[in-house]
Amino acid sequence: MKRAFLYLLAASLLLFSISAPAALRVFACEPEWGALAAELGGTAVSVYTATTGMQDPHLVEARPSLIAQMRKADLVVCTGGDLEQGWLPLLFQQGGNSRVHPGGSGYFEAAAFVTLLEVPSRLDRAEGDVHAMGNPHLHLDPRNIALVAAGLAKRLAQVDSANAAQYQTRHDDFAKRWMQAMRRWEQQGASLKGIPIVTQHKSWSYLNQWLGLREIATLEPKPGIPPSSAYLSQVLAELKQKPAKMVIRAAYQDPRPARWLAERAGIPAVELPFTVGGSGQAKDLFGLFDDTLARLLKAGQ
């Protein structure tokens, strides 16, 4: 037993000495920030994304592989606003890497650069799994992406000053391309303004605000509580009075409730990528918004 212990210790020390770091190691909590870090960092960073586009960001487990990645990270980039409260604190506790703990330059929180919507006036779990600091699903407003990008570029330059010029150049280039894309999306999406929609979870508030979509109902009776058939029937009855144009849900969410409602209400159920990797087209941040708009426009015709 003791000998096995020593062998393992020796083996891991050996691995440690082989893997000399070259690029700045970025640990991104969600795919959108992984994609952003890759845009801004280029070859100067190596990005590990902790979750996929098919994962519910609320339901992430502090898996051993995440602890191993946290241990080696130089910069942790997360949404913040309590979104990762169920798993990130454990990674900090178990990862043994104080350089990336909140409060230091190794921890970057997107929510600090954006005004959060829907800050609850009443904090009560009877209202569901509400986020005390406001709705954290902030990345679906591209204006927020631009704000966070500026902050992240600055932070990358601060943490990895040797490559500061590269981060600056790449950010200037990204910001220019993003601005152009945003104009294009806004022109495309002009026809969506004011249309009534039903959503599955309160994860679209920022998209709605940007495009002017009107969320008239959600399939979850309370945030984080899955839809029940009784509640769905109630939503269906409401839709008879106030019809909606479509039901939207994220690729990672159970398709059945949205499909059930859409069929009975005679409106399309739209699966949106929600984040990078949530659809085949959403390969990067540009693809994410291209695909989101394309799907919304197709359904809104």
Shortest Å, Cβ 245 to another protein: 26
Shorter beta-carbon distance to another protein: residue 256 or 298: 256
Shortest Å, Cβ 276 to another protein: 14
Check: CB of residue 87 under 8 Å from CB of residue 56. no
Check: CB of residue 217 under 8 Å from CB of residue 233. no
**List of residues 6+ apart from 205 with CB closer than 8 A:** 117, 118, 135, 137, 215
Shorter beta-carbon distance to another protein: residue 91 or 267: 91
Choose among 109, 103, 116: nearest CA to 151: 109
Check: CB of residue 24 under 8 Å from CB of residue 159. yes
Shorter beta-carbon distance to another protein: residue 20 or 162: 20
How does DSSP classify residue 226? P
Shorter beta-carbon distance to another protein: residue 8 or 294: 8
Shortest Å, Cβ 218 to another protein: 15
Q: How far is CA 253 from CA 195, 199, 242, in A?
A: 22, 11, 25
Shorter beta-carbon distance to another protein: residue 79 or 267: 79
Tokens 């490559």 appear where?
Answer: 163
Shortest Å, Cβ 266 to another protein: 26
